[in-house]
Amino acid sequence: MSLLLLNLDQLFLNNSLSRWLSAVVVTASVLLVTVIIRRLIRRGYQRFAETVEVELMEIPLQIASNTKLSFLMVLSLYAGMLTLNMPDSVQGMASKILVIAICWQAGIWTTAAALAWLASSRRGMSVEDFSRAGTMNVVAILVRLAIWSVVVLLTLDNLGIDITTLVAGLGIGGIAVALAVQNVLGDLLASLSITLDKPFEVGDLLFLDDFQGKVEQIGIKSTRLRSVTGEQIILANADLLKSRLRNFGRMSERRMVFKVGVVYETALAQLEQIPTYLRQIIDSLPATRFERCHLLRFGDSCLEYEASYYVLSANMADSLEAQHAINMAVLTRFAQAGITFAYPTRRIFLDRSTEPSA
């Protein structure tokens, strides 16, 4: 027993064998605990991934499950090394290795978080929306490139390499490339803005200046519309974002306004009943909601009424069908009530009260 204690007190690389054993125990314990925690995290994430809905802890567990075994080994070895008496140069090298490992693991976690966010955005896309899916793939590539560029620069900096010149060169080169392809980059950034902000989507009906049509495809550089007359309209994404768009695809209901003119000879009692007639006609239709009806103005040849209502559909065909039904019903009701529609007329009154002198 005394011989064993004597051997444990022997020094090896400025540390006793007992200290080395303690370092091994600490390293193995930290590695075992972290591996078990990673396994529990992965099992929890698998349970959440089997459900359709995205749970509150699903994305954090997905990110944490991407922890690499190599990172856990470096972390465990560094924890065990803390129990040893090592030269400053060895401690400094171990610290640099740990920082580099942390940088690479942080890059993996950040990439997993960005891809999880992009995947959640992609869940709302329809199967036919290939253009937006392609744009999201471009976003994923750019995000990965940005993340790992920072990780590589941090790694080089921790290795003692001066990255100031490299960063300056990359900045100058980036400016030169951006100036050379500024139009393409403008359309690309506009495409990313359209994908993320979603001012319109495939299938929406857009009105832009003299152009109108349904969105067929949202590409990286341009957006394609199919006009109501059949031809395809191709517009640059940057031009779309600079313009004022009217997006009829986001309509939930359509407001309609129409006017009715009656002759001045119409009796006052009949004039008072016209708003009631129009309201009853509009309320009788299943997909319309009455808003108002008023005697708008005294015209040159008629008394002009204006009525407005809502069609509970964004489809233009449904609005036209509702207006057709209302017009036919107005003709029928006014004929029954003896109300005459006005049309442009001019009357000349001759004054015969004065006779010409003999």
pLDDT tens digits, 98-114: 888 888 888 888 888 88
Tokens 């997006």 identify what position? Answer: 247
Please give the CATH architecture assigned to the domain spanning 254-337: 2-Layer Sandwich (3.30)
Name the band, by pLDDT with cuts 50, 70 and 90, for residue 161: confident
Q: What average pLDDT does range 213-225 have in this prediction? A: 83
Q: ∠ CA 245-214-137 to the nearest 5 degrees? A: 85
Handedness of CA 247, 249, 250, 252 (dihedral sign): positive
Q: What average pLDDT does range 338-356 have in this prediction? A: 74
Q: What average pLDDT does range 29-50 have in this prediction? A: 87
Q: Which tokens hold the place of 339?
A: 């109300």
Strand 205-208 with 246-247, pairing: antiparallel
Q: Where are the domains of the chain?
A: 9-124, 126-135+159-250, 254-337
Tokens 């019903």 identify what position? Answer: 329
For 164, phi and psi rounded to 5 degrees?
A: -60, -50
Q: What is the DSSP string of 240-272?
A: HHHS--EEGGG-SSEEEEEEEEE-TTS-HHHHH
Distance CA 231, CA 237 (A): 19
Name the band, by pLDDT with cuts 50, 70 and 90, for residue 237: confident
Q: ∠ CA 200-206-212 to the nearest 5 degrees? A: 155
| pLDDT higher than threshold 80 for residue 220 | no
Contacts of 160 (CB under 8 A, 6+ apart): none
Report the mean per-residue pLDDT for the chain.
Answer: 81
- Integer distance in angstroms from the first to the last C-alpha of the chain? 162
Name the band, by pLDDT with cuts 50, 70 and 90, for residue 256: very high
Distance CA 134, CA 146 (A): 19
Helix (H, G, I), strand (E, B) or coil at 345: coil
Helix (H, G, I), strand (E, B) or coil at 6: helix
| pLDDT higher than threshold 70 for residue 185 | no
Q: Which tokens hold the place of 115?
A: 């891809």
Report the CATH number of the 126-135+159-250 domain. 2.30.30.60
pTM: 0.53
